[in-house]
Amino acid sequence: MKKKSKLFSYFNGLKFQAFLAPFFKLLEAIFELLVPFIVSDIMNVGVENGDTHYIIVRFIVLVVLAFCGLGFALTAQYFSSYVANKYACRLRQGVFEHVQTLSFKDLDTLGNSTILTRMTSDVNQIQSGINMFLRLFLRSPFIVFGALVMALIIDSQIGIVFAVVIPILFLVVFLIMRFTLPRYNKIQLSLDNLTKETRENLTGVRVIRAFTGEENQISDFEKKNQHFTSLQFAVSKISSLMNPLTVAIINIGVISILYFGGIKVNTGSLTSGEVFALYNYITYILVELIKFANLIINISKSIACSKRINALFEVEPSLKFKEHVKINDDYLTFDNVSFKYNKDGKEAIKNVSFKVEKNQTIGIIGGTGAGKSTLINLLCHSYDLNEGEIIYKGYPLSSYSLEEIRTNIGLVPQKAVLFEGTIRSNLLWGKKDASEEEIQKALEISQSEDVIKHKAKGLDEPVEQNGRNFSGGQKQRLTIARALVKNPEILILDDSSSDLDFKTDKDLRMKFKEIKNMTIFLISQRTSSLTNCDKILVLDHGELVAQGTHEELLKNCKLYQDIHYCQFEREETK
């Protein structure tokens, strides 16, 4: 119930407009129901008696009704569109804000394609459903039952035809909806998989072509696309029965009305105008039931989408926070830390313990899958620990708010990410009110000055989506500059110089030596990048196998020796 109220809460401030939309639609419906009655009157009185004045007066009434109906319809459309668009805007914003609160573990579990589909396709479907619901949920039933009442007023015996036809039509609609409703959720799940497949192919298109994997990818995509299409066909086959069945039933009703109506006209108990009105009313029922059926289909899809979005809201942030109780006087300590990505999976970090003094430079090295990036993610409290404790400034790291942690930490991720905008706007992510002096200092340390010099607009050079108009090395240097603009207490560089040439890498390391009031974590596959570190941590399959300076590890750590001598000859090292 609580989560349902979350979805309904986005209607706050829209309830009055949501009331006005169906209200004006009802007014339009009342005017529409009067039209066949007035036309019947024109035929029975004006045409029958040749009274031109009577016909003109009634014609003017019809024109007035038409314009009033048009005005009511436009007003209803405005309010329904206003409510639907506002609601969708709020819901989309709410989903986006909720996603920002989720931990890396939550995001890994949900998957990017699922979140993307729910924020776009699902929200759009709900918007369409609300718009149609506000316009038709009262109008269509009102027209149907209003037509029945008008038919009974005209002739109670022929009105029985309406009384029989309407329940049969509703039964057909109900049976079709009962079959199709549960299948719309399966269609949306299949769309998730299709979106995921598309996203992976577009992201990895260069790799796919490098390995001539186009045929395999086309085949995989075709299977998922065919599955998605088959689900849609299965629902469409049943849904397609709606119109022919309802038309057939209405036509039987029309034939019945014309047959019995003709008999009554011949006996004088019914006029031709009244038969014409009855015919119009039954066609009204057909049109409105088709609209109502489409409304139910649309609402069925919207309900399925709302359940999926509601399920997303039900995902509570999994990060846990402890009391802010002082443990010791250490600056930063990993105390017997262990971590698993999955509850039943293998430990990515196992019993890791080390201490870091303030303003030290710490190097981290190890093979692929050793746990280097995982260690850094734990330092940023992106995941909860399974065992042990990380202590920051004497307190448990998990006792600080995420805002406090991320304000004090500047992270340069393994994959350099730039956002669409300008170089300046990307650098100001670190500090919105950074001065020109702070920006220039960050550019100097990160070796990014020449990147700016070779751009016609300097700091105001446009950055395209994902920074695709910059090379890998340029992006890495600019992301380092972005972190430095922030002037954090702790700077983390997660293998963020892998695309740099050796000279730039060396110059970068020399500049880092000049930084005095910052604790730096350097993750690298190059031992040359770590030679000046105060301490180097050597990881192997999630375990800390050694720690010390470059010289100490060359003497005492075989794994470090193997890594180093793969990159340098022994004689050169000596």
**One-character DSSP codes across 97-148:** HHHHHS-HHHHHHH-HHHHHHIIIIIHHHHHHHHHHHHHHTTHHHHHHHHHH
User: What is the distance between the alpha carbons of residues 207 and 200, in angstroms, rounded to a whole number?
Assistant: 11
Contacts of 183 (CB under 8 A, 6+ apart): 231, 234, 235
pLDDT reading at 173 higher than 80:
no
Residue 232: pLDDT band (50, 70, 90) is confident
Decide which of 107 and 76 is more confident.
Answer: 76
- Does residue 139 register a pLDDT over 50? yes
Which tokens sit at 40? Answer: 């019947």
Q: Which amino acid is at 230?
A: S
Q: What is the DSSP letter of 352?
A: E
Instruction: Tell me the C-alpha distance between 193 and 113, whole Å.
Output: 8
Query: What does the alpha-carbon distance between residue 190 and residue 228 come to, in Å, rounded to a whole number?
Result: 6
Closest CA to 146 of 27, 251, 250, 61: 27
Compute the average pLDDT of residues 230-253.
81
Instruction: Determine the average pLDDT of the residues in 124-150.
Output: 89
Supply the pLDDT for residue 574.
46
| Residue 548 region by backbone torsions, left for phi larger than 0, else alpha for psi between -120 and 50, else beta | left
Inter-residue contact 392 to 355 (CB < 8 Å):
no
Class of residue 24 by CB neighbours under 10 A (exposed 0-12, middle 13-18, buried 19+): buried
| Calpha distance 327→389 (Å, rounded) | 10
In this prediction, residue 269 has a pLDDT band, given cuts at 50, 70 and 90, of confident
Residue 117, pLDDT score: 81
Angstrom distance (rounded) from CA 520 to CA 370: 20
Nearest alpha-carbon partner for 187 in 56, 34, 300:
300
Question: Residues 17-39: pLDDT tens digits?
Answer: 999 999 999 999 998 888 888 88
> At 3, is the pLDDT very low, low, confident or very high (cuts 50, 70, 90)?
very low
What span, in angstroms and rounded, lies between the C-alpha atoms of 8 and 222?
39
**292: which 2 tokens?**
């109502």
Percent with pLDDT over 90 in the chain: 21
pLDDT digits (tens, 9 = 90+) for 292-321: 878 877 887 888 888 888 888 888 888 888
Torsion of CA 33, 38, 43, 49, to 10 degrees: 160
Residue with tokens 């880092």: 512
Give me the mean pLDDT over the 102-112 stretch.
Answer: 80
Distance CA 477, CA 404 (A): 26
Question: What is the arrangement of strands in the sheet containing 347-356, beginning at the earlier edge strand?
Answer: 347-356, 332-340, 387-392, 395-396
Q: What is the amino acid identity at position 440? A: Q
361 three-state secondary structure = strand
- Show the domains of the chain with their CATH numbers: 2-313 (1.20.1560.10), 332-573 (3.40.50.300)
Average pLDDT over residues 242-248: 80
Residue 1 pLDDT level (bands cut at 50, 70, 90) = very low
Q: What is the mean pLDDT of residues 122-148?
A: 89
The larger pLDDT score, comparing residue 124 to residue 502, is at 124
Pick the more confident residue, 110 or 57: 57
Among residues of the chain, what percentage have pLDDT more than 70? 98
**Per-residue confidence (pLDDT) for residue 569, from 0 to 100:** 63
* pLDDT for the residue 5: 53
pLDDT bracket for residue 330 (50, 70, 90) = confident
Residue 44: exposure state from Cβ atoms within 10 A (0-12, 13-18, ≥19): middle
The pLDDT, as a whole number, for residue 183 is 76
**What is the model's pLDDT at position 2?**
43
Distance CA 443, CA 452 (A): 9
Quote the pLDDT of residue 571. 43
Mean pLDDT of 154-160: 84
Give the Cα-Cα-Cα angle 187, 188, 191 (nearest 5 degrees). 90
| pLDDT value at 158 more than 60 | yes
The answer on pLDDT for 464 being more than 60 is yes
pLDDT at position 160 is 86
Cα torsion angle, 154, 160, 165, 168, sign: positive
Q: Between 396 and 200, where is the model more confident?
A: 396
* The pLDDT of residue 179: 77
Q: How far, in Å, CA of 94 to CA of 7, rounded?
A: 9
Cβ contacts of 431 within 8 Å, gap of 6 or more: 438, 485, 486, 487
Q: Do the Cβ atoms of 463 and 423 come closer than 8 Å? A: yes
Confidence of residue 82 (pLDDT cuts 50, 70, 90): very high
pLDDT at 507 over 90: no
Q: What is the mean pLDDT of the chain?
A: 85
Question: Shortest CA distance to 525 belongs to which of 548, 562, 495?
Answer: 495
More confident residue, 432 or 204: 432
